[in-house]
Amino acid sequence: MKFKIVSKGDERSNKIKATMKQYLTEFDLVYDKETPDLVISVGGDGTFLEAFHRYVHRLEHTAFVGVHTGHLGFYADWTPDELEKLIIEIAKTPFQVVEYPLLEVTIRAESGGKEDRFLALNEAMIKTADGSVVFDVDIKGEHFETFRGDGLCVSTPSGSTAYNKALGGGIIHPSLEVIQLTEMASINNRVFRTIGSPLILPKHHTCLLKPVVNRSFLIAIDHFTTNYTNVKSIQCRVAEERVRFARFKPFPFWNRVRDSFVSEDDNRV
């Protein structure tokens, strides 16, 4: 089996990377940056996002696992104390794989019919540097509302605990193949009206955002923001592709939510 390790780059993460690389090669696994079967991220959820985007072109052939060197992560859910166990588990391959849904974003620009397609593991955020965004929001080909406000966030189920949560979105179990649309400070008065609640869209219910006033947007796909001009439309839907996680121990999603946001102690009395 071929593996690659992506480190956050700090001393602690680099040390863990070196240890894992050494032991796994001793177990006859092959270090291969180009076509790894397993990508190990060492750092935080941010490092995991980076690792995901580095291998986003070959998701079908890649499984991911994350070791956290900071606080507990949603993607990076192995601790440095468990390193030995993880190394042995990896060396014992084949491993179990769990798949989570992704968000597909297609940005179409006015000039030259340019089209950019992205996959997001957490979310897409659409904002502007000048004033409010104004979009006609179509859902499944029908006009739903005209949105005015700071912006919109469209998240995946596994990204629902990230930016989406800060916007008051719901936490969604990743076994559900959906995307969630949350508002960032919408303007609501007698003239402008939006739904005001997060919307959860199933597969094939495409959401299309069509700019009404400004056409320049800051579009963030996970941790990476790009400035787009002359935007004609931004299409969001559940992607056909999925992300594959290598699972070596059970760590249910709701336990991760509890341990990250409620309490790490077992608070039953």
122 assigned to a ligand binding site: yes
Token digits for 112? 């030259």
Q: Is the peptide bond before 202 cis (omega within 30 degrees of 0)?
A: no
Residues 51-70 touching ligand NAP, rule: CB under 6 A, are 70
Report the nearest approach of Mn ion to the CB of residue 166 (Å). Answer: 14
Residues 63 and 243: their CA atoms lie apart, in Å, by 8
Which run of H or of E encompasses 256? helix 253-257
Q: Under 8 Å CB-to-CB from 239, ≥6 apart: which residues?
A: 101, 102, 103, 104, 119
Q: Is 166 in the site for ligand NAP (CB under 6 A)?
A: yes
The one segment of 43-51, 78-86, 200-208, 226-234 that binds ligand NAP by CB under 6 A: 43-51
Select from Mn ion, ligand NAP, none the partner in contact with residue 49, using the beta carbon and a kind-dependent cut-off of 5 to 8 Å. ligand NAP
Residues 50 and 70: their CA atoms lie apart, in Å, by 16
Q: Which is nearer to ligand NAP, 157 or 211 (CB)?
A: 157
- Binding residue count for ligand NAP, defined by CB under 6 A: 17
Report the nearest approach of Mn ion to the CB of residue 223 (Å). Answer: 7
Residues 184 and 152: their CA atoms lie apart, in Å, by 6
Neighbours of 224 (CB within 10 A): 12
Report the nearest approach of ligand NAP to the CB of residue 223 (Å). Answer: 3
Determine contact, residues 77/66, Cβ cutoff 8 Å.
Answer: yes
Q: Which is nearer to Mn ion, 44 or 149 (CB)?
A: 44
Residue at shortest CB range from ligand NAP? 46
34 assigned to a ligand binding site: no
Report the nearest approach of ligand NAP to the CB of residue 56 (Å). Answer: 14
**Bridge partner residues of 147 (DSSP):** 135
**Cα 227 versus chain centre, distance:** 20
Q: Is 49 in the site for ligand NAP (CB under 6 A)?
A: yes
- Catalytic one of 32, 37, 45, 138: 45
Active site residue 45: yes
Catalytic annotation, residues: 45
